[in-house]
A = this chain, B = another copy of it.
Amino acid sequence: MLTRIGFIGLGIMGRPMARNLLQAGFEVMVHSRTRSRMEDLVAAGARPGESPREVAAASEVVITMVPDTPDVQSVMLGPAGVIEGAHDRLIAIDMSTISPSVTQQIAAALAERGIRALDAPVSGGETGAIAGTLTIMVGGAAEVFTECQPVLAAMGRRVTYIGPSGHGQIAKMCNQVVGVLTLEAVAEGLVLAAKAGVDVPRVIEALSAGSADSWNLRHQGPRMLARDFKAGFFVHLQQKDLRLVMELANGLQVPLPGTALVQQLLGSVEAAGGRALGVQALVQALERLASTTVGGR
Which chain A residues have a beta carbon within 8 Å of chain B's beta carbons? 100, 123-125, 128, 134-135, 137, 157-158, 160-163, 167, 170-171, 173-182, 184-186, 188-193, 195-196, 198-199, 202-203, 205-207, 209-217, 219, 233, 239, 243, 245, 248-250, 252-265, 267-268, 270-273, 285-286, 288-292
Contact = CB atoms under 8 A, between A and B. Distances in A.
Given A189-B174, A202-B171, A158 B255 contact: no
B252 A192 contact: yes
26 contacts: A158-B210, A162-B198, A175-B207, A178-B188, A179-B207, A179-B210, A181-B181, A181-B182, A181-B184, A182-B185, A184-B185, A185-B185, A185-B258, A192-B248, A249-B267, A250-B267, A253-B271, A255-B271, A255-B285, A255-B290, A256-B286, A258-B258, A261-B261, A271-B290, A271-B292, A285-B289
A258 B292 contact: no
A209 B135 contact: yes
Copies in the complex: 4
B268 A289 contact: yes
Contacts of A170: 193, 196, 198
